[in-house]
Amino acid sequence: MDIIINFLQKIAPILLAHGIVGIIAFCVRLYMQGEKFRKQTDETGKVVIVTGGNTGLGKETVIELARRGATVYMACRNIEKGDRARKEIVKETGNPNVFSRECDLSSLDSIRKFVEDFKKEQRELHVLINNAGVFWEPRRLTKEGFEMHLGVNHMGHFLLTNLLLDVLERSAPSRVVVVASKAHERGQIQKEDINSKVFYDEGVAYCQSKLANILFTRELAKRLKGTGVTVNALNPGIADTEIARNMIFFQTKFAQTILRPLLWSVMKTPKNGAQTTLYAALDPDLEKVSGQYFSDCKLASVAPAALDDQMASWLWAKSEKWAEITI
């Protein structure tokens, strides 16, 4: 008995310390979940496209839109994963008007095909959510030769949005929602090496693409003034999704057993990470708000580089040329 008592006396401080740490981590996690979009809206009859809608923040966004009665098109790179996600969402929400369509944002041809097929099925589009993205990719090129972060996060959505503008304008009031990131604050548009041919760093390339998202948002908002189509960007926060799957470090045993549990306390769940997207897409108070940036379901400021109108105009002209469009 004495042995047991002595053992318990020795481990009691350790258990107490672990318990305190656990409570602190839990409280931090609750705080880090951010604001929620709590307004109840009826989206019956509304048509929405969500890129990357089969996983992570995109899937949570589709689930909530479907619950509210919207007709939702998931634009997915992998159609098999998209179809599986669609079945799960339909079963969970009871809304059969959820569709999975192939749209590889690293291929401009795939984007054009997606839009062509969508326009055959629908005459209206009330919300376009540019959610899909890549993060920390080793240097690879899209089908057309764009650096992958720039090609998917910016160019793919640039073309998709422009090809859908006629439907968005016909359906006004309508919205374009761009999922950007706080990482834009560390971004710079490398005019002389925007495709990262001379120098490549995964983080630098990602931050550049997120800055491009906000420059695109602000420029498009100016061009659509008076049309009834609004364009806003947002920061979803750090969410526990698959987006970091390409970071080799996070695949190590150390990261999985030590670092991931530590990061758990500061990461949003995918559902909570989708709240600002839903706010920007659905809040009635934002019907006429355009060219803005939101974080945690409220207006937020952007980095000075994101306010550079000349750079936004330059990037738009370059993107039009690369996408071979004039709108």
pLDDT, tens digit, 9 for 90 and up, residues 127-157: 999 999 999 999 999 999 999 999 999 999 9
Per-residue pLDDT, 325? 79
d(C-alpha 305, C-alpha 44), whole Å: 39
Whether 61 and 82 have beta carbons less than 8 Å apart is answered as no
Q: Is the pLDDT of residue 225 over 80?
A: yes
Per-residue pLDDT, 170? 98
pLDDT, tens digit, 9 for 90 and up, residues 72-122: 999 999 999 999 999 999 999 999 999 999 999 999 999 999 999 999 999
d(C-alpha 202, C-alpha 138), whole Å: 6
Q: How many CB atoms lie within 10 A of CB 170?
A: 13
What's the predicted TM-score (pTM) here?
0.88
β-pair partners for 251: none
- Kindly compute the dihedral angle of the four CA atoms of residues 148, 152, 156, 157, in this order, to the nearest 10 degrees: -150
In the residue annotation, 206 being an active-site residue is answered as yes
* Percentage of residues of the chain with pLDDT beyond 70: 81
Q: How many CB atoms lie within 10 A of CB 268?
A: 21
Q: How many CB atoms lie within 10 A of CB 216?
A: 25
Summarize the confidence of residues 246-263 as an average pLDDT. 53
CATH fold, domain 33-323, is Rossmann fold (3.40.50)
Per-residue confidence band for 267, with pLDDT thresholds at 50, 70 and 90: confident
Q: Is the pLDDT of residue 314 over 90?
A: yes
Identified catalytic residue from 31, 73, 200, 206: 206
The overall average pLDDT reported for the chain is 89
Per-residue pLDDT, 35? 86
Please name the residues in contact with 259: beta carbons below 8 A apart, sequence gap of 6 or more: 250
Concatenating the DSSP letter of every residue in 259-281 gives IHHHHHTT-B-HHHHTHHHHHHH
- Alpha helix stretches (DSSP H) within the chain: 2-32, 56-67, 79-93, 108-121, 148-149, 157-170, 202-223, 253-254, 260-264, 270-273, 275-282, 309-323
